[in-house]
């Protein structure tokens, strides 16, 4: 596999050009081309000699859209092909305030959550920072955006993979995507979702990159949580809450809990009461979502009525909470389901 030019920061590109004896402004031309989602071979103003030299070492197009599904509500789901033949998926959701892209951070995942399709085949490999960035650059360009006038305004790290299990690459991605000379998405418009790798939450809090922290909670006790999320055996809810407080203290950002409603698992009255007790008074928000059923898993979702009744219990109890509208349902698939379906068809 060749290297990935999008892994480099602007300073990294400048160093490369200097090493190659090229003029400094070449770095700017290349960087600007990449930020506009161009392949190396398409970057204007580069000599064919320099392009050739780059292409000997670097992938022309590290992340390629191989199929797009469009929902009647405007949501788009993509299957991306990587240069080693692996497949990842992504989503673009359209809202009044802008477009949110959901990106993957790993091929597969090793966290083993029982409701999630991304983890069905385990972890295949980590994505490099440039492969994560290229998902955004590609979709931004597809929608006519560039680095000044972005089509992708918000980013959520909620595709396949556990971002904090690929910490260094995810951190480089966050630094590169928020860099002022680049595509420059504000950290406030980026949400990182984790199943709760506590030590890494502390590390992230200390990086000075105030992205929104989202925790996949899904249960109110450690025992209950461990039934569907193996990671709960390692990190207790109390430790996660402590890490969230630290995150708030360092970044000033309110944190968010994801809570997927699973029938007969986590959404009775007693769960609502326990959740209120756990979170009341904390600078946080609860995002409810009805489980997207995964064919290979036994877990069942709840009715809309049950979901709204659970939501009402939480808000009456004083929590800030919302039920996430299910979008793009007609094109199928939460987290990992698209890729799983594609691989199942024998690809
Ligand atoms: N590994 C990270 C991010 C990826 S998943 C994490 O655990 O947070 C993004 C969110 O979707 C998580 O909250 C995850 O628990 C949730 N999720 C995964 N599969 C789901 C499904 N089938 N239905 C509803 N939510 C799901």
Cβ of 262 below 6 Å from ligand 1: no
What does each C-alpha distance from 296 to 88, 114, 190, 201, 336 come to in angstroms?
Answer: 19, 10, 31, 31, 12
CA dihedral 227, 233, 238, 244 (to 10 degrees): -100
Mean of the pLDDT values across residues 265-285? 97
Ligand 1 atom nearest to CA at 161 = 1
Q: What percent of the chain clears pLDDT 90, i.e. is strictly above it?
A: 86
Q: Is the pLDDT of residue 335 over 60?
A: no
Parallel/antiparallel/unpaired status of strands 123-126 and 106-108: antiparallel
Question: Distance between CA atoms of 186 and 249, rounded to whole angstroms?
Answer: 20
Q: Name the residue among 173, 219, 214 with its Cα closest to residue 193.
A: 214
Distance in Å, CA 325 to ligand 1 centroid? 15
- The whole-model pTM stands at 0.96
Cβ of 165 below 6 Å from ligand 1: no
Report residue 297's pLDDT band, with 50, 70 and 90 as the boundaries. Answer: confident
296: exposed, middle or buried (Cβ count in 10 Å: 0-12, 13-18, 19+)? exposed
Cβ of 319 below 6 Å from ligand 1: no
Q: Find the catalytic residue in 116, 244, 267, 335.
A: 335
DSSP of 195-233: S--HHHHHHHHTTT--PEEEEE---SSHHHHHHH-GGGG
Whether 187 contacts 163, CB under 8 Å = no
| 304 tagged catalytic | no
Cβ of 335 below 6 Å from ligand 1: yes
What does each C-alpha distance from 97 to 32, 100, 289 come to in angstroms?
Answer: 26, 9, 21
Map tokens 């024998």 to a residue.
346
Q: pLDDT value at position 63?
A: 98
| Token pair recorded at residue 223 | 């025992």
Report residue 73's pLDDT band, with 50, 70 and 90 as the boundaries. Answer: confident
| 195 tagged catalytic | no
For residues 206-215, one letter each, b for 16 or more C-beta atoms within 10 angstroms of the residue's C-beta and e for the rest, the string is eeeebbbbbb
Parallel/antiparallel/unpaired status of strands 255-261 and 212-216: parallel
Determine which residue's CA is closest to atom 15 belonging to ligand 1. 216
The per-residue pLDDT for range 122-154, each reduced to its tens digit, is 999 999 999 999 999 999 999 998 888 899 999
Whether 87 contacts 344, CB under 8 Å = no
Cβ of 193 below 6 Å from ligand 1: yes
Determine which residue's CA is closest to atom 7 belonging to ligand 1. 195
């Amino acid at each position: 596999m060749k290297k990935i030019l999008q892994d480099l920061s602007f300073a990294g590109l400048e160093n490369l050009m200097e090493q190659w004896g090229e003029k400094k402004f070449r770095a700017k031309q290349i960087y600007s081309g990449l930020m506009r989602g161009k392949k190396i071979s398409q970057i204007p103003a580069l000599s064919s000699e320099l392009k050739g030299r780059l292409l000997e070492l670097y992938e022309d197009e590290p992340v390629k859209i191989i199929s797009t599904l469009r929902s009647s509500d405007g949501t788009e789901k993509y299957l991306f092909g990587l240069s080693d033949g692996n497949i990842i998926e992504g989503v673009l959701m359209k809202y009044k305030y802008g477009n949110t892209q959901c990106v993957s951070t790993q091929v597969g995942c090793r966290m083993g959550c029982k409701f999630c399709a991304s983890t069905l085949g385990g972890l295949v490999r980590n994505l490099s920072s440039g492969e994560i960035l290229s998902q955004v650059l590609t979709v931004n360009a597809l929608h006519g955006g560039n680095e000044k006038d972005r089509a992708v305004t918000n980013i959520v790290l909620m595709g396949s993979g556990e971002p904090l299990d690929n910490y260094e690459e995810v951190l480089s991605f966050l630094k590169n995507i928020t860099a002022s000379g680049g595509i420059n998405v504000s950290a406030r418009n980026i949400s990182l979702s984790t199943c709760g790798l506590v030590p890494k939450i502390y590390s992230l809090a200390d990086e000075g990159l105030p992205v929104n922290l989202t925790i996949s909670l899904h249960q109110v006790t450690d025992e209950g949580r461990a039934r569907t999320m193996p990671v709960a055996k390692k990190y207790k809810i109390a430790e996660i809450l402590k890490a969230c407080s630290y995150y708030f203290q360092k970044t000033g950002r309110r944190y968010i809990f994801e809570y997927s409603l699973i029938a007969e698992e986590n959404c009775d009255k007693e769960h609502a009461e326990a959740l209120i007790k756990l979170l009341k008074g904390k600078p946080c928000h609860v995002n409810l979502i009805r489980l997207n059923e995964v064919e290979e898993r036994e877990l069942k979702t709840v009715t809309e009525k049950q979901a709204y009744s659970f939501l009402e219990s939480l808000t009456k109890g004083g929590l800030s909470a919302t039920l996430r509208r299910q979008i793009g349902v007609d094109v199928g698939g939460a987290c990992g389901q698209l890729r799983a379906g594609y691989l199942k068809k024998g690809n």
